[in-house]
Structure 1
Amino acid sequence: MPLFPNLPARSQFVRQASNLWRVKQLFHQHLCHQLRADTCNVHLIDGFPIELCKLTRVRKCKSFKGDANHSYCASKDMKYFGFHGHLLVDGRGIPVEFTVTAANVDERDAAYEIINNIKGLLIGDKGLIRPILNQECSQADIYLQTPLRKNMKDERPKWVVKQLMNVRRKIETTIGQLVEYFDIEHINCRDLWHLTSRMGRKILGLSIGGYLNLELGKDSMKFEGMLAG
């Protein structure tokens, strides 16, 4: 291509992009600080499946040997083979922390990795129900709230639980955006190094979109105020 004489091969570009994983991580942390997502008093946590291949092809799959595993996704009512993404967002749906584990890792165990720098209200689903987790969150000034199972007595007013679940839907919207725009539930690489880089790039992409929307919204409000004045 004459306009880009030094354009590298695709494989070289992919390696260079992967090598910048730490830069992407720092950039994302900077955006969170700018948006005050890391100091927000309300956070939401949820997970989603990351499928490596169809179950019928597991025996032939040579990628991620010893890393990927089998699991079951209750929200989609499906068995799958691969990994599990764990996402933490603020009350507006801006991604704050993210990690990937093998599909069979308990999300209550993975939660410790992404909630260690937050305070205030944390809203999750039934998968986070564990007395010791509630106790440790309380000691860290984290107020964990989840819906309870049918065989558990809920002393909270129904309107409070309903409001909590309405707020929690924001993270489902965020995950839906990651799936629709970034195809985050599928893997297009063959090792953990590239997987980590790709996932970080997708989370960063959504954070940049959220940042631009919020900043454009502020500018629009300022412009409307000038017109009104």
Structure 2
Amino acid sequence: MEDKVIEIYYLVDEFCKEFELAKSGHILTENTSKKSRNRKFKMSDSEVITILILFHLGQFRNLKHFYINYVQKHMQDDFPSTVSYNRFTELQQKALMPMTVFLQVCCLGKCTGISFIDSTPIRVCHIRREKQHKVFKGLAQKGKCSMGWFFGFKLHIVINDKGEILDFLFTHGNVDDRQPLKNKDFHDKIFGKLIADKGYISQSLFEQLFIDDIHLITKLKKNMKNSLILMNDHILLRKRALVETVNDELKNICHIEHTRHRCFNNFLSNLIAGLAAYHFLPKKPSINIDVIDEDRVNKKAA
């Protein structure tokens, strides 16, 4: 655990130093005659981000219990200048921007030519309490997935064959799965083959992505005419469960979903920290492309 703390803090702290240098000189300030205090915070952004990532890598399900009962009691050598939990939640919102940029710059993988895409619901409450929910009133929306109706948001992720997240997008719960792919900024890092489920079937989307050097591969619905595909593509379709495994780890290991949020900013902070924590997992689900291309294809052909 100690080695993991040092590793995460070193990467985060080096990034935060570069982030502050890049940010200085680009901040708009008001021309007022009042003097402004520029006191140094007791806890740095690096410490706050490291604690949030460690929380999502541990067994705690409640950030308050983790901070009070573990960080303040058993990690005093690593974080000697801790603040109260109420103050920590305020610093958590302050560290949201650098943590988001850290996720984008340091925690995303590179495309290998084979990518998988899927969406997963982020529930903010039980569907039966939709009408009385207040924290995300006007923000969360009612949507439907393969598991039924839910109330909340959607997380769209694209991964490579190594299980690394290439890109992500956060939308309302009622947004169609195909909508993010219509935005070129979302699939700008992707090339080659993109494996998806039947929810992404669209002739216009296929043609749009094909122009951008992306071959969208999906299974066919029962009422669609059959078409021939390469054996490699057929086998890759059978490996689409890889992205569902990543979604499962994000929810059950990194804890990006829970229904105890009290404000939208901390909800975003929890989501971003969970995605960053996934990068530091010791082992990620992956597929062996060499085995797919050779052994399984030869056996199928025989």
Match of 1:10 among 58, 64, 85: 85
Name the amino acid aligned to 1:25: T
Residues 39 and 162 of structure 1: is their aligned pair in 2 closer, same or farther, counting only changes over 3 Å? closer
Q: Look up the match of 2:163.
A: 93
Structure 1 position 52, deviation (Å) = 1.2
Is 1:21 matched up with 2:93? no
2:166–2:189 CA contact under 8 A, matched in 1: no
Say which SS state the counterpart of residue 153 (structure 1) adopts: coil
Instruction: Determine the C-alpha separation between the residues in 2 that align with 1:140 and 1:6.
Output: 50
Percent identity (aligned): 28
Is 1:107 matched up with 2:177? yes
2:217–2:237 CA contact under 8 A, matched in 1: no
Q: Look up the match of 1:188.
A: 260
Residues 115 and 191 of structure 1: is their aligned pair in 2 closer, same or farther, counting only changes over 3 Å? farther
Is 1:131 matched up with 2:206? no
Instruction: Determine the C-alpha separation between the residues in 1 that align with 2:235 and 2:80.
Output: 57
Structure 1 position 31, deviation (Å) = 3.8
Deviates more, 1:199-208 or 1:6-15: 6-15
Instruction: Determine the C-alpha separation between the residues in 2 that align with 1:165 and 1:81.
Output: 29
1:31–1:208 CA contact under 8 A, matched in 2: no
Instruction: Note the aligned Cα RMSD (angstroms).
Output: 2.4
Instruction: Determine the C-alpha separation between the residues in 2 that align with 1:30 and 1:55.
Output: 35
1:69–1:81 CA contact under 8 A, matched in 2: yes
Structure 1 position 18, deviation (Å) = 3.2
Structure 2 residue ranges without an equivalent (≥5): 1-71, 285-302
Q: Look up the match of 1:164.
A: 236
Q: How many residues align?
A: 207
Say which SS state the counterpart of residue 15 (structure 1) adopts: helix
Q: Look up the match of 1:197.
A: 269
Deviates more, 1:188-197 or 1:117-126: 188-197
Is 1:73 matched up with 2:148? no
Instruction: Determine the C-alpha separation between the residues in 2 that align with 1:84 and 1:187.
Output: 15
TM-score, length-scaled by structure 2? 0.62
Structure 1 position 173, deviation (Å) = 1.1
Instruction: Determine the C-alpha separation between the residues in 1 that align with 2:90 and 2:226.
Output: 51
Q: Look up the match of 2:27.
A: none
Instruction: Determine the C-alpha separation between the residues in 2 that align with 1:88 and 1:100.
Output: 12
Instruction: Determine the C-alpha separation between the residues in 2 that align with 1:187 and 1:95.
Output: 24
2:111–2:166 CA contact under 8 A, matched in 1: no
Match of 1:121 among 193, 202, 216: 193
1:92–1:170 CA contact under 8 A, matched in 2: no
Deviates more, 1:152-161 or 1:133-142: 152-161
Say which SS state the counterpart of residue 185 (structure 1) adopts: coil
Structure 1 residue ranges without an equivalent (≥5): 215-229
Using CA pairs under 8 Å that are at least 6 residues apart, name the structure with larger relative contact order, 1 or 2. 1
1:32-43 aligned at under 5 Å gives the runs 32=107, 37-43=109-115
Instruction: Determine the C-alpha separation between the residues in 2 that align with 1:18 and 1:130.
Output: 39
Say which SS state the counterpart of residue 16 (structure 1) adopts: helix
